[in-house]
Structure 1
């Protein structure tokens, strides 16, 4: 199976650029994410991390608690 794929890819002109582009996209995305995490304000991170704990965000159904 790998020979079949490799054989077909060797016949395509310019195919070697796609792994480089993929690596650049991966590197830029995670570098940006890394930068955002370290520059994010602590208040914002605390507020967002408490969203699942807030009871006000989801309506409760009293019948489920009986």
Structure 2
């Protein structure tokens, strides 16, 4: 039933390509953001659960 429904849609082959492009783009962007992140901030967030420091907004 689903196969017949998809077969009736014209140019249905473009949807998997678009989905893959969005998926890959998201993870490439995420990887870029991780490698460009401030190392001090990451270290601070890493150690937060182990300290008694309480975040106070100035």
Q: Is TM-score (shorter-chain normalized) higher than 0.5?
A: yes
Q: Which runs of 4+ in 1 moved over 6 A?
A: none
TM score, norm. by length of structure 2: 0.72
Per-residue CA distance 1:10-32 (angstroms, 9 max, x = gap):
11001111111100000000000
* Residues 10-49 of structure 1: pairs in structure 2 closer than 5 A: 10-49=7-46
Matched residue SS, 1:37: helix
Q: CA RMSD in A?
A: 1.7
TM score, norm. by length of structure 1: 0.65
Comparing 20-29 with 37-46, greater Cα deviation is found at: 37-46
Structure number with the bigger relative contact order (C-alpha 8 A, sep ≥ 6) is 2
Aligned residues: 54
Matched residue SS, 1:14: coil
